[in-house]
Amino acid sequence: MTSSVFGRAAEPIVIDIWSDVVCPFCYLGHAVLAEAVEQHPHGSAVQIRYHSFQLNPGFAPGEAVLADDYLATSHGMPKAQIEASHAQLAARGADAGLDYQFEKAQMVNTLDAHRIIHLAKAHGQETAMVERLFRAEFTDGLNLADHGVLADLAAELGLDRAEAVTTLATKGYEKDIRADLGRARELGISGVPFFVFDDKRAVSGAQPVELFRRALDLAWQDRQTQPA
């Protein structure tokens, strides 16, 4: 392969993602972005970094309720509206290879889940942990506020379960999480998923794969116009 095909050597295209593991659109956005990266001719030159965001920071720590019940009681959404929204999202998810089981999903305070993501990041397992937590929430219906569940999921990926338990018990990675949340406020992020490409361009929401491909194209084009 010649340099004319791939362009000059460049630093990785960095995509910063703010998301929450109880956000169904974040799960879809994660999957569609992964598809776009896989399709892109320079997908191997992409680095993805996840950042903590909480949809419901005021939700009582340790508690869990069915997400549908939460939407009905806290947001006054009629059952028919909830079901219609879920059906539409489930169809989009199926196209991306996701198996949404909304009747099982639980609303929790996700602060501890974010601790586990940061722990996984420290061991090079960040993306795998994010994916496993999404699947645990939206397919398996697990309680992501339960420390035992979170520790088991960490161990499932090969992380040390005892370290996960200690991380949760000692409120580990608090500074890192607060930094993520603070940066989100600086950027004016009020909803997730939120994607920032090379600290230049933002994409908000679970957009079609073509839009993510376009953002990747522009990021790569920027590299070709920069002086060597």
- Tell me the pLDDT tens digit for each residue of 77-118: 899 999 999 999 999 999 999 999 999 999 999 999 999 999
Q: How far apart are CA 87 and CA 101, in angstroms?
A: 10
Residue 225 has what pLDDT? Answer: 74
In the DSSP assignment, the letter for residue 2 is: -
Range of the domain at 97: 3-225
Query: What tens digit of pLDDT does each residue of 164-208 get?
Result: 999 999 999 999 999 999 999 999 999 999 999 999 999 999 999
Residue 10 has what pLDDT? Answer: 55
Q: Is the pLDDT of residue 7 over 50?
A: no
Q: Which residues contact 56 (CB under 8 A, 6 or more apart)?
A: 22, 107, 109, 110
Number of domains in the chain: 1
In the DSSP assignment, the letter for residue 145 is: T
Q: Which two tokens stand for residue 200?
A: 């230049």
For residue 26, the domain's CATH number is 3.40.30.10
Backbone angles phi, psi at 96, to 5 degrees: -95, 10
